[in-house]
């Protein structure tokens, strides 16, 4: 059996699983060396996954297709996990709060596990359908998934905020970052994701006009992308205008990511439309 990108990406799944477990141990037992090890394991997983994505791109050229590995559900799940880990590691580097990894890396782990082991996901490299044969493919997918990944990390921090409760004294919950720190990190991460999602919607509209002759057709995925955009726009508006903070923003970060998940999966499996090819 020949070694392929799929095997390398499957290995990445277990690396991220190990990293998530190490982050959890670091949080529970507060062992700094375990947290440092978790960071190195996560970085190793990112490098392994990057190699796998690059190898898959080369394999596409070898098959005569020559397109970026961003065209179907398997490839988008892999890319989502990759961007999520990248966004998280940047946040960890800037904040030095490794405990966030216990709530952020599971998103990447679950995405990779679903991509690698679900019978509903095919990992074969396929030729692009005509609608996807465009230079806009890379720009649209990258921008959208930078937004999705940022929202995943923000959701993790929202869960942390709610889990922390009023644990200001000693104990497991008090080892989490303070409410003030989490609130500010959520806010900054949502802004970052919102900007990229906005660019993603714009590039998608331009691409749609090129492919289908209209900038907006109220396709289910377009509609749910707009709903997701409005959820996060509401969160930012409430923050800037109404002064919402803390628990309200944490709840909106979770609700927003639920909308992301439905935009990503629900449209593919429950609704038919021009974007249904994403489930193939």
pLDDT above 70 coverage of the chain, percent: 94
Asked whether the whole model's pTM tops 0.75, one would answer yes
- pLDDT of 94 reads 96
User: E strand or H helix at 76, and its extent?
Assistant: helix 73-95
Q: Sign of the C-alpha dihedral, residues 191, 192, 197, 198?
A: positive
Which pair of tokens denotes residue 57?
Answer: 């791109």
pLDDT at 83 over 50: yes
What is the number of H-type helices and E-type strands within the chain?
A: 9, 0
Q: How far apart are CA 239 and CA 184, in angstroms?
A: 11
Domains and CATH numbers, the chain: 1-123 (1.20.120), 131-280 (1.20.120.1770)
pLDDT at 160 over 90: yes
Q: How far apart are CA 4 and CA 56, in angstroms?
A: 8
- pLDDT of 166 reads 67
Instruction: Give the pLDDT confidence of 191-214 residue by residue, as tens digits.
Output: 999 999 999 999 999 998 988 889
Q: How far apart are CA 226 and CA 236, in angstroms?
A: 15
Instruction: Give the pLDDT confidence of 128-137 residue by residue, as tens digits.
Output: 888 788 889 8
Quickly state the pLDDT bin for 280 (edges 50, 70, 90): very low
Q: How far apart are CA 251 and CA 39, in angstroms?
A: 28
Q: How far apart are CA 14 and CA 42, in angstroms?
A: 11
Instruction: Give the pLDDT confidence of 41-70 residue by residue, as tens digits.
Output: 999 999 999 999 999 999 999 999 999 999
């Amino acid at each position: 059996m020949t070694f392929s990108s799929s095997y390398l990406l499957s290995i990445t799944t277990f690396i991220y699983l190990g990293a998530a477990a190490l982050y959890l141990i670091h949080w529970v037992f507060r062992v700094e060396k375990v947290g440092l090890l978790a960071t190195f394991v996560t970085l190793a997983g990112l490098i392994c996954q990057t190699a796998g994505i690059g190898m898959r791109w080369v394999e596409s050229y070898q098959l005569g297709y020559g397109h970026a590995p961003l065209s179907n559900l398997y490839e988008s799940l892999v890319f989502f996990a990759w961007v999520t880990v990248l966004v998280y590691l940047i946040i960890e580097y800037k904040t030095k709060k490794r405990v966030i990894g216990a709530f952020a890396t599971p998103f990447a782990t679950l995405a990779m596990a679903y991509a690698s082991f679900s019978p509903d996901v095919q990992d074969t490299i396929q030729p692009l359908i005509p609608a996807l044969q465009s230079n806009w493919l890379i720009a649209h997918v990258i921008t959208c998934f930078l937004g999705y990944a940022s929202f995943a990390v923000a959701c993790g921090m929202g869960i942390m905020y709610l889990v922390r409760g009023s644990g200001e004294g000693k104990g497991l919950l008090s080892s989490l970052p303070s409410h003030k720190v989490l609130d500010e990190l959520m806010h900054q991460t949502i802004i970052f994701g919102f900007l990229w999602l906005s660019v993603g919607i714009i590039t998608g509209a331009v691409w749609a006009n090129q492919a289908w002759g209209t900038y907006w057709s109220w396709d289910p995925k377009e509609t749910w992308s707009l709903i997701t955009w409005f959820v996060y726009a509401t969160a930012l508006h409430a923050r800037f205008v109404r002064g919402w903070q803390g628990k309200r923003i944490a709840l909106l970060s979770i609700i927003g990511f639920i909308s992301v998940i439905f935009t990503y999966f629900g449209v593919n499996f429950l609704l038919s439309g021009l974007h249904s090819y994403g489930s193939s």
